[in-house]
Amino acid sequence: MSVDDLDKHIETLMKCELISEQDVKSLCSKAREILVQEGNVQVIDSPVTVGGQIPDTNYLFLGDFVDRGFYSVETFLLLLALKVRYPDRMMLIRGNHESRQITQV
């Protein structure tokens, strides 16, 4: 998945539009490669800001990404796309809504 593809997916998801199933599979596969290498405890360089320009800013998302309204899938896919695009700047901490017991079907 190229940087241009990721930028296109991020732009699409920011408009609450879905990306194709194949793109979701590719995004999840790439995100998995990144996330399995990260430990459960993250050392995050400060400062961490709530807003700013993504390429120059560190972001920390504190869980409960899903089960919060109509756009759970789009929200989580956007976070995954941002994580893959900026792996060293985006930190995702799983909340109780992302636990295996909550998300199993």
Q: Which are the catalytic amino acids?
A: 97
Q: How far is CA 36 from the centre of its chain?
A: 14
Six-digit token string for 12: 């699409």
Residue 76 CB neighbour total at 10 angstroms: 17
In sign, the C-alpha dihedral spanning 72, 103, 65, 39 is negative
Q: H helices of the chain, where?
A: 3-14, 21-35, 72-85, 100-103
Q: Determine contact, residues 79/66, Cβ cutoff 8 Å.
A: no
